[in-house]
Structures are given as C-alpha cells and as structure tokens.
Structure 1
Amino acid sequence: MTTEFDLGVLLAERGAERYELHGRYLNHQLPRMLHTIGFDRVYDRGEGAYFWDADGNDYLDMLAGFGVMGLGRHHPVVRKALHDVLDAQLADLTRFDCQPLPGLLAEKLLAHSPHLDRVFFGNSGTEAVETALKFARYATGRPRVLYCDHAFHGLTTGSLSVNGESGFRDGFAPLLPDTPVPLGDLDALAAELAVGDVAALIVEPIQGKGVHEAPSGYLRAAQELLHRHKALLVVDEVQTGLGRTGDFYAYQHEDGVEPDLVCVAKALSGGYVPVGATLGKDWIFKKVYSSMDRVLVHSASFGSNAQAMAAGLAVLAVMENEQIVANARLTGDLLQSRLAALRDKYELLADVRGRGLMIGIEFGRPRSLKLRSRWTMLQAARKGLFAQMVVVPLLQRHRILTQVSGDHLEVIKLIPPLIIGEAEVDRFVDAFTAVMDEAHSGGGLMWDFGKTLVKQAVANR
C-alpha cells in the first residue's frame, strides 16, 4: 500500500518545529545565534522584495538570500518556466545525449561577454570557482593561483585555498599552494608572477566582504601583467554578476578588461535551483577537453539539469525585458546618494560605498567623548558589534532584513533584489535614520542590546 505525499499537510503539521528540527539535525549553532540576536522570526511567505509573517506583517528584504534572489522571490516568469519544464517531461540528464537548454543558456550568457566562447555548468558559485582553478592550472601547466586579501570565493577545499579570511581556513589545512596579494597592489602581483609558477589570479571586482572595489585601472593592468607572464585572469562574478552593480558584469565598469575565465552563480536561476557557470575562452576548454578520452575529465552529476537551465533562460529574459540592469544602476545611485548625504549628520557613520545595488555602510570611531567610550567598550569585546547593533533594530522595529558584511567588520552590506525602487529606498533610509538617531542619543534600547552582545562575545572567547 502506498501513502500519498502531501507537502502542504507536512508543513502544516510540522512547520512550527523548524527551529527545534534545525538545532537537532542540522547546524545547531544557527538557531542559537538567531535566538541571541533576535532574528528568530517565522516567515510564512515571500514575494518580490518582501516577506510576510503569520500576522500579515511585511518585511523588506535587503539581503536577497545572500544575492541569489536577484529578481526577488517568486517572479512569475521564472515560476512559469519551471512549471513548463517539469510538464515537458524531458529526457533530462541521460548523460549520453546533448539537450538543447544548456546550449541555449550558454549562448545567452556568452552574448554578454563577447570575448568568451564556452561555458561549463555546475551547481554553485564554489563549483564555478573550482572549475576555474582546475582549468587555469591545466591550461597553463602551472600549480599556483594568486588571490586577494579578504577575498571570498567559496568554502570547498579548492575555493577555500583562495579564501582570504583565516577564520574560514583555520583547521582545514593543508590547502592548495596558493598565495595572497593585496587587492590593487600591482607590485606585489608582479613579484609573484616573476617566480614563474603562477597559473592565474582570481579576483572579485568588488569584494563581498566589506564591499571594497578594486582600484580604478587595476583589473586591466593586472590582466596585462598576467598575460605578459602567460598567466590567466579569473574574475569571480558570483555575487557581482547579472546586473548587481549596474552593469551585467562588474568587470565591465572598466574598459579593456577581458578575463580568461569568469565565474557566475547565485542570481542565475532566480533563487529557485542551485546553479553555477564558468565562462571561458575557447583555447582553455579545448586544452582541458583535448581528446575523446578526456570528455568527462571535468563534469557534474547535476550540471546542466533542465530545471536550472530553464530558470536561467527565464531570468535572462526578464532581465532584458524589464531592464533590470538599468534599474539596479539608477536605484543603487539613489540609495547610495541618500545614505552618503547622512555622513555629515552622524559621526558614527564613516563611509558609504559601492556600485549599483551592492552598497557598504561602514561605521567608525566617533568624535564625542560619550559615544567614543561606548564605541571603545564594544571594540574591546569584539569588532563588529556596533554594526550588529544597527542590523537588529532594523529588523525588530522596522522589519527590514540586512546583514553585517563579515566577521569582525563594522560594515553593513546591502544587496537587495534588483527590482526595488524609490519606495523601498525611502523605507530603508527612513528606518536607518531612526536607528542612527537613537544610537547618537547615547541611550536607549540600542546600547542596552550592545551590552548583551558584549556579554555574548566575552562568553564565546
């Protein structure tokens, strides 16, 4: 006797156990952390740039699922494409045929990078990076890849080897023989290239951790240095690509930059299906896949699956038809200018930077004695606590979801869905202004919560 599976019934019966289930069977520190900072909300549904809870309260999403929800949640065109591809009952993943959807999606992606020729589809950003590392090593015959300080390229062993943060790397050695260089330091890059064993430099045009952009002219100069030494330029566009920064790829803000390999993921499927893509030059792919014996030398069991490919094609169609890249540029400029105008008003606000809808808000040491003493207390306990003090009331009082941009950083990163407009800008700026007003008043619940964070930070040492 078979029992029919009903997802709706299961969620109705067990959905309230979500935090208990996660603590028991998954990462037990996640629910603990969410409870501590007051992020243990229960969201019932999402649409566009908003969530709703069981009481019907709306929450503005300025996080976009770490960037995967580029079109917001449940875009109707992407939903329809997924229904259509399931209804088509394709003979998917036979592995001994050539389905049309991967080729069609590759063609569309490559149209935005005319100097690139071929695509490998995997399942995530870290897989896209792993592919680029393997391809660069094989194509050049060299072992070493350079990466930038504070970079984030993923957490699998290969991508972790080019991760610029010790907090992620500690305890997982030995890793691959790779070497960090400071972002923007051409002399350091040239010194490493002179050794003669470098396969590539992998770089984010704008680093996700802290939202730091490569200096103007750096990517092109680095490309020239690399090619002079027969090494490759790999650009990680996992977070910055597909319109996030106001151009289709972030490297395109600088004239003359033509990477050898480009890594894409996150927003490519509209947040529905895990997907990653590594775009590259024809000669690199032909060297890796040099004979029929090497046809499967690099592959992925779920790579190029029909659901991911259909979602990707729908996403690219929406981006073109709804002018998503232009909206990211215009709305991002508006948001950044509105926030930058607050710098003179708030001494705790040190910087506002970024491109398009990838914006970093950095806090710094205040001038006034009263605020400075409280700032010093927070910094002594753990750097990054003030940014957390801002993020929490934004959610709890104003129902806006944001994130601190990295461990021990006094930076909030805004990476909202690319569909937001002036109404969402107004809501965020009004809420941020209210939170900063309270912080600068020197009292109130914010600083009381700061004491809670200090106790938690000391207890975790």
Structure 2
Amino acid sequence: MTKEFDLGALLAERGAERYELHGKYLNHQLPRMLHTIGFDKVYERAEGAHFWDADGNDYLDMLAGFGVMGLGRHHPVVRKALHDVLDAQLADLTRFDCQPLPGLLAEKLLTHSPHLDRVFFGNSGTEAVETALKFARYVTGKPRILYCDHAFHGLTTGSLSVNGEGGFRDGFAPLLPDTAVPLGDLGALARELKKGDVAALIVEPIQGKGVHEAPPGYLRAAQDLLRKHKALLIADEVQTGLGRTGDFYAYQHEEGVEPDLVCVAKALSGGYVPVGATLGKDWIFKKVYSSMDRVLVHSASFGSNAQAMTAGLAVLSVMENEQIVAHARVVGEQLKSRLAALIDKYELLADVRGRGLMIGIEFGRPKSLKLRSRWTMLQAARKGLFAQMVVVPLLQRHRILTQVSGDHLEVIKLIPPLTIGEQDVDRFVDAFTAVMDDAHSGGGLMWDFSKTLVKQAVANR
C-alpha cells in the first residue's frame, strides 16, 4: 500500500539533517560559511518580525529574507487568502483563457503609479528586470543598456549584464552589450547617450549594495536626458518598492520622475508565492505585443498563477488597511535618527544613511592608535571583516539577524519587515550600542572573533 505524503512526519523524522542535506545536495559552501561565522542556527517557527528556536529563544529579524518579508512572516490576511484560493479549486494556468485575478492585481498595482498602464507578471525580481531589458531593446531598436556602478539587478544572464559587481559577473561572459556609469554622474550619462545606441538606463533609486541613494535631482535630470535621446528610464524597485523607503516606490521621493518601466517583486509575494511584475507604459506593451502572432513573444509558464496573484492582492490590501507605508516612514526615521546620534560617540561608526526602513550603517577607520592598528589588520586581510564582526555578535549575543551589505563593504544593511514597532527599534539600538561598546573597549569577544575571520579570509585567497 502506498504511503501517503505526511509533511509533519517527514520534518519530524529528517528535519535535524538540514545542514547535512544542504551540504550534500545543494550549495555545499553555504553550510560551511554558516558554520564558520556561527550562523548555523535551527529556527523552528516564525511570525511577523521574529523567529524562535527549539528552546523558545526569540530572534529579531532585521533582514526580512532580503526584503521578501515586507509584512513579516505569516501575516494572517495573506495566509487566509492563500487558503481561500487553494480551496476555490480554480481552473488556473489553462494558458488559453483570461482569469480575473491577474487583471485585478494589475489594476490595483497600477493605482500606485498612475503614469503607467500595463503589467507583465513573472516569478521573480530578476525576471522583472529581464522583461524590462527585453522590452526596452525591442521598442527602441537599440542594443545597449546603461546601468550604475555597484548596481544589483539580478543574476540571470540579462540582469547579470547590468550587475555592477565584477564578483558576480566573472566567468560568465559574454553578456549583453552594456556600459556602467557612476550613480549621479549626469555627464557620463550624457556622453554615452550621444553615441546613439542606448536603449535604456536601469537604476535603483537607492542601491541595495551599500545603501546609496541617487543624489537629489539626478533621476529627474536623467529622465530628461534619456527622453531627449529616445531612450527609456527603468526603475528597479524590486527591493525599494512597496513601502520599503517610506513611499510606495522610492522614485516617488523625487518630484516629476515617471519611469517608462518599473520592476517590482520580493514583498509583493507576501513571503509565500514568488511573483515579479514589470509595469510599463501602454505604447511599450502595444509595440512588443503588436499582433496576434506575437501574443506569446514574451511569457512565463507560472506567471500570473492564482496563488501568486492572490498573495499580491492580499499584500496590497494589508498595506492600505494597516497604513504600512506611513508606518515604515515613521519607524524608519526613529531608527535612523537614533543610530545617527551614535556617530559622535563611536569612532568606528562613520555614517548612517537611507530612507524609511532601508538603512545602511557604515564603519570607518578609527582615530585612536590602538583601534587603528586593529582596523588596519582587518583591512589587510579582507575589507568587510569589521562589519562581519558586528553582524556575528548581534546574532550570537543579542539574537538579531542582520547582513553585511555586499562583498568587501564595511556596511550593515537593515531591511526589516515594515511591521516592526518601537520595541523592536529599542531592542536593536540597545544591542547595537552594546556591540559598539565592546568593539571600542579594545578587547572583548569581538576582537577575539576577528582572528577567526582573518584566518578564514587568508585561507580563501
């Protein structure tokens, strides 16, 4: 007799093997890295902005699954909506009909960017970017895409072509024709546009790597230059969109900016079902889908599936009903201002920047001789080790999950669920202050741990 699938029984029987299974069948370097830095935790359950381990210890999530968990984990409204759509037994993905849910989600999504008209639904942020690149090249008839230094737009071949970090690109060439320009440098943008072969500029209004915001006025001026040369502006809002920065989209912080294409994903999923969306102007979609022969010229097998569309609709409903964007703006300002107030207190703390609940904490070279010698030792081994030294005790001693904001960067990025409250802010600031106190004491566990990081960095050279 065939044994029925029992998820609970399977996890009870095999769940303890999680790290061994990953090391044997998936990316073997991930468990190795987690063991090295002491991140090899076993989380049993999660809700909102918190995890719990088997002993009932509570962890604060300041990472939100790289921004996916905009509403935190297991929001009851999103969860119920997904149960409802599964119970509805819809005739989903027949491919030759028009279901209501994609149209309803597109309509709702477009209310937040009234200058845009149509939506293509894929399954991820990198697919949203791929769609925008394809559409821009097709409708302009030009091959080249401009992007900004240090940008991150995804890791598939097209999006990798506009990735500003060599570490991701190395060994995967040849890629699409592309050119990087410095974020904020209008002169460099103008020089490239004059060559006449540029289809578009793709830009993160606030770069995820390092949390660098486009300078005031840059997006509007870039938009004017692009239009003059019949090229498009693509806003990558995969991480910054859906309230992350205290406005629905980050480009909306600058008056008069109306991108031709906007890429969203991550938080639209509710943390449950992957979904990506590319929003664009009517003329762009009509040129790409110019005849019935071209109806499937760009499509995705799982795009617009009922579960993903339901998750998106539920997320937007929660954002509206619970005033998530305004909450992110207020709580983000509280967190940022309290951290910025510590800059004068700690010589290793160089800058606090960002908008809403997307905050970068940057560390820099200290002035005192004792700390400076230790800083120099870390930098010689590998840039970014001090930031890692901060991330580790935040988790180990204070049970707060954070991340270093990119390879070789002395920056921690905070992108918590947009639902965090004042108690969570207090907890993070208190923990961060304790870690900074330890770092500036000249001794302590942090500097002992630095020896482990240095050895690992040297071994990997």
**Once the two structures are superposed, what CA deviation does each residue of 1:52-96 show, in whole Å capped at 9, x if it has no partner?**
000000000000000000000000000000000000000000000
- CA distance in 1 between counterparts of 2:273 and 2:31 reads 24
- CA distance in 1 between counterparts of 2:239 and 2:444 reads 36
- Alpha-carbon deviation of 1:34? 0.1
- CA distance in 2 between counterparts of 1:203 and 1:445 reads 40
- CA distance in 1 between counterparts of 2:329 and 2:448 reads 38
- CA distance in 2 between counterparts of 1:43 and 1:308 reads 25
- CA distance in 1 between counterparts of 2:452 and 2:13 reads 35
- Quote the residue 1:184 is aligned against: 184
- CA distance in 1 between counterparts of 2:281 and 2:112 reads 14
% of aligned pairs identical? 92
- Alpha-carbon deviation of 1:16? 0.1
- CA distance in 2 between counterparts of 1:3 and 1:85 reads 27
Residue 393 (structure 2) pairs with residue 375 (structure 1): no
SS at match of 2:344: coil
- Alpha-carbon deviation of 1:251? 0.2
Q: How does 1:44-63 map to 2 (within 5 A)?
A: 44-63=44-63
SS at match of 2:359: strand
- Alpha-carbon deviation of 1:269? 1.4
SS at match of 2:147: strand
Count, aligned residues: 461
User: What residue ranges of structure 1 are gaps of 5+ in the alignment?
Assistant: none
- Alpha-carbon deviation of 1:15? 0.1
- CA distance in 2 between counterparts of 1:442 and 1:406 reads 26
Residue 426 (structure 2) pairs with residue 426 (structure 1): yes
- Alpha-carbon deviation of 1:421? 1.0
- Alpha-carbon deviation of 1:2? 2.7
**Once the two structures are superposed, what CA deviation does each residue of 1:372-424 show, in whole Å capped at 9, x if it has no partner?**
00000000000000000000000000000000000000000000000001100
Q: What's the Cα RMSD here?
A: 0.3
SS at match of 1:235: strand
- CA distance in 2 between counterparts of 1:422 and 1:161 reads 41
- Quote the residue 2:70 is aligned against: 70
- Alpha-carbon deviation of 1:204? 0.1
**Once the two structures are superposed, what CA deviation does each residue of 1:291-348 show, in whole Å capped at 9, x if it has no partner?**
0000000000000000000000000000000000000000000000000000000000
Normalised by the size of structure 2, how large is the TM-score?
Answer: 1.00
**Once the two structures are superposed, what CA deviation does each residue of 1:258-286 show, in whole Å capped at 9, x if it has no partner?**
00000000000111011100000000000
- Alpha-carbon deviation of 1:193? 0.2
- Alpha-carbon deviation of 1:3? 1.8
- CA distance in 2 between counterparts of 1:291 and 1:443 reads 70
**Once the two structures are superposed, what CA deviation does each residue of 1:108-155 show, in whole Å capped at 9, x if it has no partner?**
000000000000000000000000000000010000000000000000
- CA distance in 1 between counterparts of 2:3 and 2:311 reads 31
- Alpha-carbon deviation of 1:197? 0.3
- Quote the residue 2:150 is aligned against: 150
Normalised by the size of structure 1, how large is the TM-score?
Answer: 1.00
- Quote the residue 1:125 is aligned against: 125
- CA distance in 2 between counterparts of 1:403 and 1:173 reads 29
- Alpha-carbon deviation of 1:249? 0.2
User: What residue ranges of structure 2 are gaps of 5+ in the alignment?
Assistant: none
SS at match of 2:138: helix
- CA distance in 2 between counterparts of 1:444 and 1:353 reads 28
Q: Which runs of 4+ in 1 moved over 6 A?
A: none
**Once the two structures are superposed, what CA deviation does each residue of 1:167-191 show, in whole Å capped at 9, x if it has no partner?**
0000000000010000000000000
SS at match of 1:425: helix
- CA distance in 1 between counterparts of 2:2 and 2:283 reads 53
Residue 414 (structure 2) pairs with residue 446 (structure 1): no
SS at match of 1:352: strand
- CA distance in 2 between counterparts of 1:386 and 1:2 reads 54
- Quote the residue 2:282 is aligned against: 282
